[in-house]
Structure 1
Amino acid sequence: MVVGWGEKTFVVNIYHTTTMKTLITPKNSSAHLIHRFATLKVFIVLMALWPMMSYSQFSTPGTAEQPATTLSLETDPAPYLYKGYSVSLRFSHKAFPHWSVMGSLFQGGVPDALLTKTNKELGWRNLRFSPSYALFVDYSLRQSGRGLFFGPAVFLYNNYVTLSTTGQRVDFRTAYPNVRIGYTIFPFKRSNLYITPWFNIGKEIQMGSNAARPEPTYQLSPVKYIMAVHLGYRFKFQDSSRR
């Protein structure tokens, strides 16, 4: 479930992106402020409750977590709300149990109401991204992969947006390097289903030149962040040496 999606907020699967400056600027409408702080409150409450929800996943005293090679399938439900999709594969090898690598393929869009005020005033509408990609490298504090993790990531967006005054569609590509922190929860005993709320922050950078793009130019936020919740299923590979 996302609590924010798009350029300024994203929804209850939590895809929320905007400038830090925008968050504290009194020029925002009261409706946007109420929505923005509501999503932040939901995220904070969920983060506070998850350690209690996941209490049963912790090892009992005196038992050691055994490293295992795992392959996980994840999805972010938020893009599906905007006629898109999200699919991710995560891999962790038992030789490096604290580390994992994940690749993502996704597509979606941003409701016009969630565009920045500047871009809406310039006449930009219908921001969407065609198939785009992300790569994550995560370090988990526990070798089982449960609990807190953090690491770098980079997104490659294939964006297109429409100028409402002329109807012209403009395509452009951006890169979004960022750092991410999250928490992996297995809420059900004897189940490999898991939930991963996470937050990242970075800067979106345009790839290529503005020369071929019409005026006015679509404005990228100087600081961007995303809050999301992924749903996943983990497969463990049995160690043949123990058979």
Structure 2
Amino acid sequence: MSLVSVIGAGSLANVFANVLHEFLPEFKLHSVLGRSQEKAEVFASKYSCQAVFNIDDFLKEAAPVVVELAGGAALKDYALPILKSGRTLICLSSGAFADEDFKQQAILTASENNGRICIVNGAIGGLDFLQTCALQRGSAEVIIETTKSPKSLLGAPGLDGRTLDLTKRTVVFEGGVQEAIKGFPKNINVGVIASLASQKPQTKVRIVADPAANSNTHQITYRSALADAVMEFSGKPDPANPKSSTTAALSAAACLKNLYSPITFW
């Protein structure tokens, strides 16, 4: 049985833990690092693991693989010490890597300490295709359009001072990845993932609020001299956290399974 530790004790962490319990019995939760002592203790009691409340104590006994399910701020706080300890870090909050300085520090720390960064696909797919095409020379265009219910976008910094029309389909953002993740940090991790996988920092992002949407839909359009593709993914919002998709947590479990499996799919 392989041990795994997690960062975060919220809705997505619970989805991840349930998947391990029900479908991946070869894994056991060892510990959880949480900012909220109450949430972490409830989580630890539910899944029979240790609750820890600071990174130093966490790293004393954390499992070889750590899964982050706590948001970009937590990833930025904890990634470097985890990688410095030589552990594998599975990241759900890929939006943090839009910060070029943080990304380069994380890569350097991992390479110098035999650590590993695994950025999971979250609510989308097709990263294998984007990475494959990134090996070609020449220009390419990558566009990702995300459509969500207006309610799931409320509270985003990019909407400050704006009144969102809840009655009609509205494009609320068009621009680059850097600007997108700053304005919609809890909604557009997928844009950063697509940009990283395709090695196209100029990836274009469009965010649409649609009152008729009953799922979070992400459409990736790729065009180059090598290949053209349109990939669309629709995931139901997580009941406990409508800003995210349940498939995001499942992708972390699938990544964990791939790390230990004698056969992997890429």
TM tier, shorter chain?
A: under 0.3
Larger Rg: 1 or 2?
Answer: 1
Larger helix share, 1 or 2: 2
Query: Which structure shows the higher strand fraction?
Result: 1
Question: What TM-score comes out, normalization by structure 1 length?
Answer: 0.26
